Structure 1
Amino acid sequence: MLPEYHILIVDDDVELRRLAGKFLRENGLKVSSAQDAREMREALAAETVDLVILDIMLPGTTGLDLCRELRRGSDIPIIMLTARGSDVDRIVGLEVGADDYLAKPFNPRELLARIHAVLRRVRSTGTGARTGGPLLRFSGWVLDTRRRELTNPDGAVVDLSTGEYDLLLTFLEHPQRVLTRDQLLDSAKNRTATGFDRAIDIQVSRLRKKIERPDGPEMVKTVRGAGYFFSPDVERA
């Protein structure tokens, strides 16, 4: 159980909010709910929220728009609720910054498991035991694993979503080594790979846009038929 965490469910389905909220509370979580963008903003302003469960199909401002809005000023973990079988929704959700997705209708136990996995990633600095200092340096960049903060060569802080941070940390922990999509999903997402290979491809694409410059070297290389390869040298300080 995770009694210290506060979950916000944003969905216009009253029955879904009631049933999911009841199940999560029974499993030790604090739960608030909102039916639209206005109520979500009010809930976030009123209390600290540790994770948002956000439905894509909302009246007025859509869940995708709200995900973009949250990502502009926060790295709060987001689990998107999508229509079953809608790969487009899943892809777009990941592109705009969601950390995970779950198709409706869903088993409440699976929702709890995904919440548990995402929050576990947030409260840890990654998988496995790590030695050395909290700073990881590569090509003039610095990742502070204690503060979960990335600084570019000009000294500016670059915002990362939870998924982007976990993916970058996985690359920095295994530099100059080919990592398969399944390895990246298991390590960076801390959950069993779902077979949805596009998910990791999207995360890699988003990370590339943040750490690679158009006139600079390619840091994350695609190895055809194998996976991805992080090319810079990495130093821990």
Structure 2
Amino acid sequence: MTRILAIEDEPDVALALRMLFERGGYGFELATDGRVGLRKVHDVRPDLVILDVGLPEMDGWTVLDRVRDFADVPILMLTAHSEESEKVRGLRGGADDYLTKPFNNNELLARVEALLRRARSAGRGDERTGSGVYDDGVVRVDLRIRRVEVDGRPVDLTRTEFRLLSVLVQHAGAVLSPRQLLEQVWNDPTGIAPERVKFAVLRLRRKLGWSGDASPISALRGVGYRYRPHT
């Protein structure tokens, strides 16, 4: 059974979500604050998380950031704010979608179903990551055992971050457009969410300890991204 975890502190919204998803045949879990929600992401391993921004103690932005340190679970943010800056902040932090309260139940279900389909498709795409080892003397990517090292130091990446790095190093020196990366990394051929690539690259650089001109992953404005091998 597909498991949905809602991290939501408003009782009325939580009840509405429970009724909506249980009637839809989903397994439903609820956490009413961010700390409990983080534990449930660890323990329950949900297929999708619905995350409220305005949580007590630990807000949704902090929860999002901590989840993205260890998991690629699809995350749909719920917020009472409709400002563009809020949406950008969510995407930058690794959210997969964003919905403003009050929401339409049918729209929420449609968005959840789309995210689940994309996640299943991306999971099947893991088989196409490749085989063998990439090693340019600084970066080593072992595609067989999914291990990454930078200057001999192991780096823990999420599944999506590993796929992104793998695709870039396997096309080292070539420029890949956001559409190409969406298709190869996320199994999403629509190309309608290029900002997903932008913020995933930023998170990958941060995990690998690279910034600015020192990063071998360069962005060519309006064109795409390129991995420059160390020489």
TM-score when scaled to structure 2?
Answer: 0.75
Is contact 1:82–1:89 with CA below 8 Å preserved after alignment?
Answer: no
Q: Secondary structure at the match of 2:55?
A: coil
The equivalent position to 1:203 in structure 2, one of 176, 187, 200, is 200
Structure 1 residues 26 and 92, CA gap change in structure 2 (3 angstroms): same
Residues 121 and 166, structure 1, Cα contact 8 Å, conserved in 2: no
Per-residue CA deviation, residues 32-57 of structure 1 (Å, 9 max, x unaligned), is: 11121243245346544344332222
- Residues 12-44 of structure 1 deviation map (CA, whole Å, 9 limit, x = unaligned): 244544444455456654321112124324534
Report if the CA contact (8 A) 1:102-1:111 is conserved. Answer: no
- Structure 2 gaps, min length 5: none
Is 1:54 aligned to 2:51, yes or no?
Answer: yes
**Larger mean Cα displacement after TM superposition, 57-66 or 137-146:** 137-146
Which has the larger displacement, 111-120 or 75-84?
75-84
> Whole-Å Cα distance in 1 between the matches of residues 122 and 156 of structure 2?
17
Q: Deviations over 1:67-91 (max 9, x none)?
A: 233345x224241414474332233
Q: Does the 8 Å CA contact 2:90/2:98 hold for their aligned counterparts?
A: no
Does residue 79 of the first structure (1) align with residue 75 of the second (2)? yes
Rounded Cα–Cα distance in structure 2 between residues aligned with 1:101 and 1:70: 15
Amino acid at match of 1:137: D
Name the CA distance, whole Å, in 1 between partners of 2:84 and 2:14: 24
SS of the residue 1:107 aligns to:
helix
Identical residues among aligned pairs (%) = 23
Match of 1:142 in 2: 140
Contact 1:212/1:219, CA 8 A, preserved across alignment: no
SS at match of 1:61: coil
Q: Out of 168, 173, 182, which is 2:179 matched to? A: 182
Rounded to whole Å, the distance in 2 between the matches of 1:209 and 1:46 is: 26
What is the alpha-carbon distance in structure 1 between the residues aligned to residue 13 and residue 74 of structure 2?
17
RMSD: 3.3
Structure with greater helix share of residues: 2
**Which letter does structure 2 place at the counterpart of 1:10?**
I
**Which residue of structure 1 lines up, in the alignment, with residue 149 of structure 2?**
151
CA contact (8 A) 2:75 2:97 kept: yes
Q: Could you tell me how far 1:63 is from its partner in structure 2?
A: 0.6
Amino acid at match of 1:100: D
| CA drift at 1:202 | 2.2
**Which SS does the other structure have where 2:229 is aligned?**
coil
Please report how far the alpha carbon of residue 58 of structure 1 lies from its aligned counterpart in structure 2 after TM superposition: 1.9
Match for residue 194 of structure 1? 192
Partner SS state of residue 125, structure 1: helix
Q: Deviations over 1:93-130 (max 9, x none)?
A: 3433x25122233431221211231244246416xx46
Partner of 2:114: 113
Q: Structure 2: how far apart are the matches of 1:6 and 1:110?
A: 15
Aligned residues: 223
Deviation of the 1:64 alpha carbon: 0.7
SS in structure 2 of the partner of residue 186 of structure 1: helix
The answer to whether the 8 Å contact 1:99/1:163 transfers is no
Residue 61 of structure 1 and its aligned partner are, at CA, apart by 1.7
For 1:1-237, what aligned pairs fall within 5 Å after superposition?
3=1, 5-25=2-22, 29-41=26-38, 43-44=40-41, 46-72=43-69, 74-83=70-79, 85-96=82-93, 98-104=94-100, 105=103, 106-122=107-123, 124-125=125-126, 129=128, 132-133=131-132, 135-154=133-152, 156-191=153-188, 192-195=190-193, 197-211=194-208, 213=210, 218-232=215-229
